[in-house]
Structure 1
Amino acid sequence: KRIIFEKEAEVDALKQSLVFIKGVEAQALFNFLINCKSAVAVTGALAGVPPTLLAPIAFHGATLKPLKVRESTVRVDKEKFHSLEIKGPLLPHILPSLCHLMRSSHLEQFSVSFAQLSSTNAFSAAKHGLESPSADDNDEIQPQSVFGQENLSDCGFNSELLSHFCNPDISRIQVVEALKFSNDVYTWS
């Protein structure tokens, strides 16, 4: 039995262990996780803790968990640099919101570095639940999800961000390791 458990644990946090649920099925998954006794560990550090669902907006039964933020100032060769460290699961809307905040503060330049947790790599690989487009699909342009954008119209995101999130083009989803803003231009890697 121990060998089976160890084999199952090998796929934890990998692409193979990701379940992609969207639409009304998300509430059904939430209900299943709450009511399924085997989905909650009975021993160990996570005993009694149900599986975690991450969402940019509240849903029935959700709990708000704040990110950990630390601000500091560093002086290098008589120049002053400000540092902002944010720890926790950063949902996709956080980066555009931070960039907007920095630009509205009239900063001429800033840079951002990211360290992705290995346990969240599968989220980046999900790409809206779509596989890479095949050669046959490249000619066909997929329309933007108007229903998705309308359903999210009151969630607090601006229309530009909603348009980006509802775009079905999976090439727009990237893992960003560093971002720099200078001379009104963004560059990233």
Structure 2
Amino acid sequence: IVGKASPWSQDEALQQVLMSDWSVSFTSLYNLLKAQLCPYFYVCTYQFTVLFRAAGLAGSDVITAVVSPTTRGLREAMRSEGIEFSLPLVEESRTRKQKNSEYCLPNTDSVFPREPAPSDDDDDESFSWLEEMGVKDKVKKPDAISIKLRKEKHEVQMDHKPESLALVKGTNTFTLLNFLINCKSLVAVAGPQAGLPPTLLSPVAFRGGTMQTLKARSLNAKARVQLAYEDIFSLEIVGPILPHSLHSLTMLLKAAQRGAFSAVLYTHEPTAVFNTHLDTEAVRKDLPTCGLHPKTLDQLSQCPTLGKSSVRFLEMKDYAYTWKS
């Protein structure tokens, strides 16, 4: 829509109508998700993306929503609305550091204890030895604001990064829905998306939704193989390729190309972190097909294993897959 007339960017009444319709569509999708008639859907804002997943997907027995990237301001706004969430990658990193610090020395039974997190008491104790020497008054102690800034430094540093991924589970996802509907900053005030509500992407029809097709282009070429030339066929697909579409394409090519094909994939980088493992025990739950192929649904039900990365290259030879992330 760049370069085209955008009457909604200056018309406040039109913006309110668009937002009202968008809220109805968003609520419709969430209800379909709750009734397990929709496996997942995306809310794409100009600042971050939210992936809602039905219970039974990604190894979770409850509805989940992942938000990425987040900022300290967004996280504080979510907390103030009573939305409980976790930061799986931050907690995973903290757990890994604790395990690395709790190791045994060779031929001894001694263990290095992990260093506790800094607290206000620690700051007071660190100055006690100065008091014993009688020079405490000559040394300026950090004030409460300085201590607070130091503690918040790490939280601010992860803003806009994959580590800022926030996980919301269960009934908190409904609170998140209401938060997003009422969040004024979801709509851009400048740029090509000015005045437009966030985009909703779903594999199933929903109230107010429109069907869109991906742009596809097929190419035929000749490639030299040893002393001869062989026909090479390629298919280029552009657009928001959802996970179920990618799996359907692989099943189609598997049959059409007799178990031999390769694919190069370009991921929208901020969404690659959605492949991270949720901090929950894996469960398997029977789900309605929701219009998806049973094998696709089975694939989406498994726990993610790619972490912060995504599949970049996929190849099948003799009906066996190899891939790089």
Map of 1:56 onto structure 2: 203
Q: Aligned match of 1:70 in 217, 222, 234?
A: 217
Q: Distance in 1 between matches of 2:275 and 2:282?
A: 21
Q: Evaluate the alpha carbon distance shift between residue 34 and residue 142 of structure 1 in structure 2; reply closer, same or farther with a 3 A threshold.
A: closer
Deviation at 1:81?
0.7
1:82 equivalenced with 2:233 (yes/no):
yes
Deviation at 1:188?
1.4
Map of 1:91 onto structure 2: 242
Q: Aligned match of 1:41 in 185, 188, 191?
A: 188
Q: Distance in 2 between matches of 1:110 and 1:65?
A: 27
Aligned residues: 165
Deviation at 1:53?
3.2
Q: Distance in 1 between matches of 2:164 and 2:170?
A: 20
Q: Which amino acid aligns with 1:44?
A: G
Q: Distance in 2 between matches of 1:61 and 1:25?
A: 25
Q: Distance in 1 between matches of 2:167 and 2:204?
A: 17
Q: Aligned match of 1:104 in 241, 255, 260?
A: 255
Q: Distance in 2 between matches of 1:104 and 1:22?
A: 38
Q: Which amino acid aligns with 2:322?
A: T
Structure with larger RCO (C-alpha < 8 A, sep 6+) = 2
Map of 2:272 onto structure 1: 121
1:144 equivalenced with 2:291 (yes/no):
no
Match of 1:121, SS state, is helix
21-30 or 82-91, which deviates more:
21-30
Deviation at 1:144?
0.3
Q: Which amino acid aligns with 1:75?
A: K
Q: Which amino acid aligns with 1:162?
A: L
Is there any run of 5+ residues in structure 2 with no aligned partner, and where? 1-71, 74-155
Match of 1:53, SS state, is strand
Q: TM-score, length-normalised on structure 2?
A: 0.43
Q: Evaluate the alpha carbon distance shift between residue 94 and residue 31 of structure 1 in structure 2; reply closer, same or farther with a 3 A threshold.
A: same
71-80 or 155-164, which deviates more:
155-164
**2:289–2:297 contact (8 Å) kept in structure 1:** no
* C-alpha RMSD of the superposition: 3.3
Q: TM-score, length-normalised on structure 1?
A: 0.68
**2:313–2:323 contact (8 Å) kept in structure 1:** yes
171-180 or 36-45, which deviates more:
171-180
Map of 1:188 onto structure 2: 323
Match of 1:44, SS state, is coil
Q: Evaluate the alpha carbon distance shift between residue 121 and residue 103 of structure 1 in structure 2; reply closer, same or farther with a 3 A threshold.
A: closer
**1:33–1:50 contact (8 Å) kept in structure 2:** no
Q: Which amino acid aligns with 1:177?
A: R
Q: How is 1:17-36 mapped onto 2 (pairs within 5 angstroms)?
A: 18=165, 20=167, 33-34=180-181, 36=183
Q: Evaluate the alpha carbon distance shift between residue 20 and residue 143 of structure 1 in structure 2; reply closer, same or farther with a 3 A threshold.
A: closer
Larger Rg: 2
Deviation at 1:61?
3.2
Q: Distance in 2 between matches of 1:98 and 1:186?
A: 14
